[in-house]
Amino acid sequence: MAFSDDLRAATATTWDAAVGHRFVDELWAGTVDDAVLAQYLAQDALFLDRFVALLGAAVAHADRPSPRMAVARQLGLVAGDEDDYFHRALSRLGATAPVEPLPATRGFLELMDDARRSAHYGEVLAVLLVAEWLYLDWASRPGPAPEDPLYRDWIDLHRGPAFAAWVDLLRREADRVAPEPGARDRMAAAFTRAVELELAFFDAAYG
């Protein structure tokens, strides 16, 4: 089994609890309470800022030109289409005021700051991989998405062939660099922490 498969298998209980979370069920049903969705998206806007910085670290520390360009391309989408979604969604929900990070968000910001400052490509990849793969997983449920763009666009940002190819690239990169000396342990620790934080992040939307 590839290193990424091992990590996912080792975190399966928490991973599955996140992917099967009440928030995801309600997202697919188009029935998330507006206050819950506003809380989630306002916190995720804080997440997104540091996520862009983390993608920048992957651009800076990639050890080969081809993955560097692929990450840079994705960074452009996050800073473009995804950021646009946040502006639309938060203004529709009337949630444009600045917010303080909740504990799960703070945990994520710290994890991303640590990975970025480590300047260790493998550790950066491990956090990116969880954030994107776990989102691909919940967003790839079969069945129709709600028609309301508030829901549909958020789902569409995390599914489809292009997003799946991006996750695949992160997996291949993580598997490629894991055998480097000392990489496995720090990648496993970052991956495991990120999965825990994904679950806590969904919980936190319900206050």
Contact positions toward ligand HMH, by CB under 6 A? Answer: 44, 47, 51, 131-132, 135, 198, 201
The residue among 110 and 184 lying less far from ligand HMH, judged by its C-beta, is: 110
Q: How far is the CB of 117 from ligand HMH (least distance, A)?
A: 20
Question: What helix, strand, coil percent values describe the chain, rounded to 5?
Answer: 80, 0, 20
Closest-approach residue to ligand HMH (CB)? 131
19: Cβ–Cβ under 8 A, 6 or more apart, which residues?
Answer: 134, 137, 138
* 181 membership: H or E segment, kind and range: none
Phi, psi of 93 (to 5 degrees): -85, 0
Report CA-CA distances (Å) from 81 to 48, 56, 149, 153, 176: 12, 17, 13, 10, 29
Q: How far is the CB of 128 from ligand HMH (least distance, A)?
A: 8
The residue among 179 and 189 lying less far from ligand HMH, judged by its C-beta, is: 189
Q: How far is the CB of 17 from ligand HMH (least distance, A)?
A: 14
CA separation for the pair 157, 82 (Å, rounded): 7
The residue among 113 and 184 lying less far from ligand HMH, judged by its C-beta, is: 113
Q: How far is the CB of 104 from ligand HMH (least distance, A)?
A: 8
Q: How far is the CB of 181 from ligand HMH (least distance, A)?
A: 29
The residue among 68 and 159 lying less far from ligand HMH, judged by its C-beta, is: 159
The residue among 136 and 183 lying less far from ligand HMH, judged by its C-beta, is: 136
CA separation for the pair 45, 202 (Å, rounded): 14
- DSSP summary character for residue 51: H
